[in-house]
Amino acid sequence: MIKWVGIKSWDKCGICLAYFKQGIQHENSLHCYKLGIPIVNLKIPLEEFVRILKEKGYVGKYSVFSFPLSIFSKGVVILYFESEEEMRKAINELKEYVKDEGKEKWFYNTFVNVDWIDGFNYRRGCPEYDKFGDWRSWKT
């Protein structure tokens, strides 16, 4: 079980999950851009990065993974955005803290189905929502 620590709450997940359980793709998923930052890609300590995110008002969460998941990834910071434009603005603002590492790309590509911009990975909606088709082909 992954233990998540909140940075600032994204209050759109509840209704999206409820619809998912009914087999319906909720519109929130179409306006949900998740930016993942593997902890191994941080240039500064996680605690310092989280402090910066809180100061800047970012919405998200993080987890330091335990065994056996830690074999594949040390953990990840996930930030939420309503548009690709907002997400890309955040990448530009945060790139000084993130190195372009490929150490854990296989894990995230395989199990989370992401694309990459330098050391950041991203996708739309939750990985479970891929049952409605690949997120790259969802309407905007």
Q: What are 78-124's pLDDT values in tens digits?
A: 999 999 999 999 999 999 999 998 889 999 999 999 999 999 999 99
* Cα–Cα distance, 13 to 103 (Å, whole number): 29
* Cα–Cα distance, 121 to 116 (Å, whole number): 4
Cα-Cα end-to-end distance for the chain: 32
**pLDDT on residue 133:** 92
Q: What is the mean pLDDT of the chain?
A: 94
Token reading at 103: 């150490």
Q: Secondary structure of the chain: what % helix, strand, coil (to 5)?
A: 45, 25, 35
Percentage of the chain modeled with pLDDT above 70: 100
From the number of C-beta atoms within 10 Å of its C-beta (0-12, 13-18, 19+), residue 17 rates as middle
**pLDDT on residue 23:** 93
Phi, psi (5° rounding) for residue 52? -65, -45
**pLDDT on residue 139:** 85
17-37 pLDDT tens trace: 899 999 999 999 999 999 999
**pLDDT on residue 9:** 86
* Cα–Cα distance, 112 to 85 (Å, whole number): 21
